[in-house]
């Protein structure tokens, strides 16, 4: 079997969950039955690697396209890379695309090579209307590409049951074409690893408890609501925000203003880590030492970050949206915060102040029961070990490929 993986993100250029997914999935796919299949990765960037039956080739055209609206340039650059990417795979059986950034290329490869087209639904454009801030009217273009790809896909991998329903409801993909395969975690890498030196390096007091957030500065991740909740948190804790890659300059400026306001309203220390932390082991140290990991997303098809925290035996407080309840078991491995209502078009909470208060109240209640926190953390690790290893996810993915090829 020859498998072509098409993606925007691949190391070292990873900024979100889709990139993490592709990195670990491809590694495990190549390791399974390595004499029987070949894994080719085509991505955005200058990567070039060959390791056994796994190859990586980045796509970085020298041509730069311009547009009357600067926000359209990223969209046009994506289309250009996709066209170049479509000409690279040869004699492939499966073309597997991740996010809309690679969907156009996948549709072309299906026609040019006769490959079965597989999409993994990490997110869906109609459920991310804030992308219009980033792309302008090119958001309509990304939505059109995504819809076209789903209508032409031979199979769809949904990262959660909630996502399976969304793919069917939004794009009419028959349920028998969709298989739920959750995201995974590297259990050997993500495990409780204490290192107070790392905390001091980032200005965190190792002797005081802290809550931890990891995610992009985007409306989807709900970081604004967490920052608004800081003034309601009990005194004596630290708030550590590993918040990177703002969607827009405006979003970055809004975040700075919100943080300044939050600092004026609390005596608790707020540490903002705005740059991507390398190596990854340092992030694992931060997960491990955290009292609680907080995931305030307003839209989250799955949420690998919750798995990362759970694997480090850290309990999670998360919003009960999308696929999160399939990962965080309320009262067992963490606590869920239920939004009473969300806006039907932008998915923001209709009562944002109440959401912020509920987030803080849930964190405060859990902090008051250290024994319960420790028990939740241990159960979280056990749940991850039993259900979310990347080897299991890779085997399920290969099985899906084989099913699609047998049908063809």
Q: Bigger pLDDT: 248 or 333?
A: 333
pLDDT at 130: 85
Q: CATH number for the 2-184+389-407 domain, one of 3.40.50.1820, 3.40.50.2000, 3.40.50.280, 3.40.50.300?
A: 3.40.50.2000
pLDDT at 332 exceeding the cut of 80: yes
Q: Can you tell me the distance from the alpha carbon of 381 to that of 288, in angstroms, rounded to the nearest whole number?
A: 11
Mean of all residue pLDDT scores within the chain: 95
Report CA 204 to chain centroid distance, whole Å. Answer: 25
CA neighbor of 165 nearest in space, from 138, 58, 174: 174
Q: Give the mean pLDDT of 248-268.
A: 95
pLDDT at 395 exceeding the cut of 80: yes
Q: What is the pLDDT of residues 143-171, one digit of tens each?
A: 999 999 999 999 999 999 999 999 999 99
pLDDT at 201 exceeding the cut of 80: yes
pLDDT at 36 exceeding the cut of 90: no
Q: Can you tell me the distance from the alpha carbon of 80 to that of 381, in angstroms, rounded to the nearest whole number?
A: 43
pLDDT at 133: 87
pLDDT at 137: 96
Count CA atoms within 13 Å of residue 125 on its CB side: 24
pLDDT at 200 exceeding the cut of 70: yes
**Are 218 and 246 within 8 A, CB to CB?**
yes
pLDDT at 10 exceeding the cut of 70: yes
pLDDT at 343: 79
Give the helix/strand (H/E) hosting 111.
Answer: helix 103-113
pLDDT at 15: 87
Residue 344: which pLDDT band, with cuts at 50, 70 and 90?
Answer: low
- CATH 3.40.50.2000 positions along the chain are 2-184+389-407, 196-387
pLDDT at 215 exceeding the cut of 70: yes
Q: What are the angstrom distances between the C-alpha of 220 and each of 14, 115, 320, 321?
A: 18, 33, 13, 11
DSSP strands (E only) in 181-308? 210-216, 238-244, 269-272, 292-295
Residue that the structure tokens 């993490």 belong to: 20
Buried b (16+ CB within 10 A) or exposed e, 235-244: eebbbbbbbb
What string of DSSP letters covers 11-33?
TTB--SHHHHHHHHHHHHHHHTT
pLDDT at 43 exceeding the cut of 80: yes
Alpha helices in 271-389 (DSSP H): 280-289, 304-311, 352-367, 370-387
**Fold designation for 196-387:** Rossmann fold (3.40.50)
% of the chain at pLDDT higher than 90? 90
Residue 134: which pLDDT band, with cuts at 50, 70 and 90?
Answer: confident
pLDDT at 351 exceeding the cut of 70: yes
pLDDT at 93: 98
Q: Can you tell me the distance from the alpha carbon of 3 to that of 384, in angstroms, rounded to the nearest whole number?
A: 28
pLDDT at 239 exceeding the cut of 70: yes
Q: What angle do CA 163, 297, 368 make, to 5 degrees?
A: 125
**Are 77 and 85 within 8 A, CB to CB?**
no
pLDDT at 266 exceeding the cut of 90: yes
What string of DSSP letters covers 132-167?
HHHHTTHHHHHHHHHHHHHHH-SEEEESSHHHHHHH
């Amino acid at each position: 079997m020859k498998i072509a993986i098409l993606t925007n993100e691949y190391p070292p250029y990873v900024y979100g969950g889709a990139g993490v997914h592709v990195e670990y999935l491809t590694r495990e796919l190549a390791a399974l039955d390595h004499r029987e299949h070949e894994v080719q990765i085509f991505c955005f960037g200058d990567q070039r690697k060959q390791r056994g039956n796994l190859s990586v080739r980045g796509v970085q055209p020298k041509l730069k396209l311009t547009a009357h609206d600067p926000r359209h340039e990223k969209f046009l650059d994506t289309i250009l890379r996709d066209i170049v990417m479509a000409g690279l795979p040869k004699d492939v059986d499966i073309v597997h695309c991740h996010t809309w950034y690679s969907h156009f290329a996948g549709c072309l490869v299906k026609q040019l090579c006769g490959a079965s087209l597989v999409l993994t639904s990490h997110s869906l454009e109609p459920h991310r209307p804030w992308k219009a801030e980033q792309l302008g009217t090119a958001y309509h273009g990304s939505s059109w590409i995504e819809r076209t790809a789903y209508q032409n896909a031979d199979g769809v991998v949904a990262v959660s049951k909630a996502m399976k329903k969304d793919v069917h409801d939004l794009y009419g993909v028959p349920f028998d074409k969709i298989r739920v395969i959750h995201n995974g975690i590297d259990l050997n890498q993500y495990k409780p690893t204490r290192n107070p030196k790392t905390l001091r390096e980032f200005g965190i007091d190792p002797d005081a408890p802290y809550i931890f957030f990891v995610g992009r500065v985007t409306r989807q991740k709900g970081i604004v609501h967490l920052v608004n909740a800081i003034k309601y948190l009990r005194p004596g804790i630290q708030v550590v925000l590993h918040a990177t890659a703002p969607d827009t300059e405006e979003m970055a400026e809004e975040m700075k203003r919100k943080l300044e306001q939050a600092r004026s309203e609390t005596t608790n220390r707020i540490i903002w880590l705005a740059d991507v932390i390398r190596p990854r082991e340092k992030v694992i140290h931060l997960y491990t030492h955290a009292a609680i990991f907080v995931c305030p997303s307003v839209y989250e098809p799955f949420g690998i970050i919750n798995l990362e925290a759970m694997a480090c035996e850290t309990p999670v407080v998360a919003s009960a949206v999308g696929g999160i309840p399939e990962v965080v078991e309320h009262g067992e491995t963490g606590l869920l915060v239920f939004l009473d209502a969300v806006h039907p078009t932008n998915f923001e909470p209709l009562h944002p102040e109440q959401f912020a208060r509920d987030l803080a109240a849930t964190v405060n209640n859990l902090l008051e029961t250290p024994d319960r926190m420790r028990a939740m953390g241990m159960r979280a690790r056990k749940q991850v070990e039993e259900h979310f290893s990347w080897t299991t996810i890779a085997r399920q993915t290969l099985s899906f490929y084989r099913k699609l090829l047998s049908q063809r």
